[in-house]
Structure 1
C-alpha cells in the first residue's frame, strides 16, 4: 500500500479477505472506525479541533490528519471526523464538553457507512469507470476529499496516497459499489 497520511487510522480489516487483488489495483475492506458527522459555526471550529485532536479544515475539498484522527471537509459547516473505533466515547465527550452551550451538531454515524481502500497504479482509472472527476495528482492531490456519485450510488472519495483512495458509501450501498468496482476491474485482466 502507498504511504498513507493516516496510516494508523485507515487500515485494511484484518478479518476480511481482499475484495480484489490484481497486480495493478487492489480493493480491501477498511477496518471499522468511529465516524462522526459534525456541524458548527465558524466560531466553534478552533475549540472543536482542539478537543478532537486535529484542526478542522476550512478549505473546500481538504482534510487534516494525525496518526489517529482525520477531519474531512464535507461542506461550509460540515465535517466528517474519523477516529479509532474504541475512541467514540472519548471523542464525543471531549467535543461536547468544549462546545457546551455553543450551537453545534455531533452525530455518531459509525454504523451508517462502510469503506474500501482502492490502491495501485490503476486505482484512479478504476474509480473513473463510474466517477467523472479528474483524479490526477495535480487536480486531486493527496488529502483531497469529495462527495460524488459512483454510477448511481452516493460515495465519499478521499485520496490518502499517490495511488490510494478511500471509497466510503452507506452500508446498504457498499455491496453494489464494491461489486461494480470488481466488475470494472475485470476489464484490466483483458487488457
Structure 2
C-alpha cells in the first residue's frame, strides 16, 4: 500500500500487494454453491466483474465535469439517471443524485485516478471515497436477461423506460442494488459485498428456467 497527502487530506491505496491472494465477493458462492456452466441452449449468461475500481464523487457538477473530462476523458452524464462510458467501455460515470456520481474503472487504476482528480480539483469543495472493496459488479447478458430482471426488481425495465445509458438504484429481491444498462444486450448489477452471495443465488434461481450459465 502507498499513501499521498493533499493539504489536510491523506489518501492511501487500499489495494493489497499482489502477492496477497484475493477472493471476489462471490468466492464463497462459487466454492460452496452451484456454478452452472454456460450451454449452447442457455439464454442468460452471468459474469462477475470483480476487483474493479469504484469511486464515489461528490461536489459541484461544473468543477467535477471539468476535472473528469481532463483526467478520465469522460463528461458527467448530462441528465439524471444517466450512465456515460468511454470508448473502450471499461470506464464509466453514473449519476447517483444531484451532487453524487459513481465512477468505475479497471482494477488497479482507482488510486491513481483519485490522486489525479484531487490534484486537478485543488481547493474546490468536493469529496472522493474509494468504495472498491465494498461492492462488486455482476453482468447479465443474453436474450432472456431482461426477463430475469423482471422477476427480480420492481423497476420497469421495458426498453421504452430503460434505454441504453440509464442507471438506477432500486430494490433487488429483498436487498438493494444499482441497475445499469451499458449496451443493448447487456445489463449490470452493482451489488454490495454483503449482498453479493444472496444476489447471486437469487439470479441463479430466477434464471434457471432460461438455462442460466455462469462465466468465470
The alignment status of 1:53 with 2:44, answered yes or no, reads: no
Map of 1:43 onto structure 2: 62
Map of 1:82 onto structure 2: 104
Cα distance change on mapping 1:146 and 1:19 into 2, 3 Å: farther
Q: Distance in 2 between matches of 1:40 and 1:46?
A: 10
Shift of 1:53: 2.3
What is the correspondence of 1:26-37 to structure 2 with a 5 Å cutoff?
26-37=45-56
Using the size of structure 2 for normalisation, the TM-score is 0.75
Shift of 1:160: 1.8
Aligned length: 175
CA contact (8 A) 2:85 2:92 kept: yes
1:117-150 superposed Cα distances (whole Å, 9 cap, x missing partner): 1111110110111212222222211111111011
Q: Distance in 1 between matches of 2:143 and 2:210?
A: 12
SS in structure 1 of the partner of residue 132 of structure 2 = coil
Map of 1:63 onto structure 2: 83
Larger Rg: 2
Shift of 1:44: 1.4
SS in structure 2 of the partner of residue 71 of structure 1 = strand
Q: Distance in 2 between matches of 1:89 and 1:184?
A: 36
The alignment status of 1:184 with 2:184, answered yes or no, reads: no
Map of 2:9 onto structure 1: none
Unpaired segments ≥5 residues, structure 1: 1-12
Q: Distance in 1 between matches of 2:193 and 2:106?
A: 18
Q: Distance in 2 between matches of 1:101 and 1:39?
A: 14
What is the correspondence of 1:1-191 to structure 2 with a 5 Å cutoff?
19-20=35-36, 21=38, 23-49=42-68, 50-66=70-86, 67=88, 68-188=90-210
